[in-house]
Amino acid sequence: MTSLRIPFRRAYIEGFWITVCGIVAVSVGVLSAAMQMAWWWAWGFGTASCLIVAGFLWKPWFEFGVKAWNRAAPILTAFLRSVVMKLCFFLISVFGSPPGSLLRTGSLQSSESMWHALAPASYRLKSAGTETGTGWFSELLTLSRRPGNRWMFLLLPFLVALVLLGDDPKPSLPPSGTYTLY
């Protein structure tokens, strides 16, 4: 996740505030239009203008925005990653099915399982894409076209979202009690 340092460059801070004001203006404008308010565009523009005017009246306001972003970005990213994973699990387990099985949603006897096993030929790959040189994406699309494997199409948007959200490992620092000479 990109973060800004407080001894920042002028272009970074201007770009940051232009982006923030644009997002706030669009969000407030859409919310005002959804609430059927008169002059919904003025509400969005006015809110964004207040953010800019506050920065001209009180200079540390711009630094506050950067500090707030640096603290909120990792928390929001972790939250969004969790939401994407939970949504993916729900959609795939309910509307799709794991490989080699089918989830029946009709009424069942008390001892009957909801999962119906499929033949291994419907979900097993002959190659993982490395032997044929086609790559994993084309193999995934080929496999998802088989009957009973349509759930794999549900997986692709979640894979893209998780790649975009990324994984922010904590920087490897020595423990605080470690004595170093530098």
What's the whole-model pTM score?
A: 0.47
Tell me the pLDDT tens digit for each residue of 4-25.
554 455 556 667 777 888 888 8
Confidence of residue 129 (pLDDT cuts 50, 70, 90): very low
Task: Quickly tell me which residue has 């795939």 as its tokens.
Answer: 92
Question: What token pair was written down for 160?
Answer: 């893209």
Average pLDDT estimate for 152-179? 71
Nearest to 62 by CA among 1, 3, 12: 12
Average pLDDT estimate for 138-142? 76
Q: 151-165 and 136-144 helices cross at what angle (nearest 10)?
A: 150
Helices (H), the chain: 10-34, 40-57, 60-94, 136-144, 151-165
**Residue-level pLDDT at 71:** 82
Tell me the pLDDT tens digit for each residue of 52-74.
888 778 878 777 877 887 788 88
**Residue-level pLDDT at 21:** 84
For residues 2 and 166, give the distance between their C-alpha atoms in angstroms, rounded to a whole number.
11
Instruction: Name the more confident of 42 and 126.
Output: 42
Instruction: Note whether 107 and 46 are within 8 A (CB).
Output: no
Confidence of residue 133 (pLDDT cuts 50, 70, 90): low
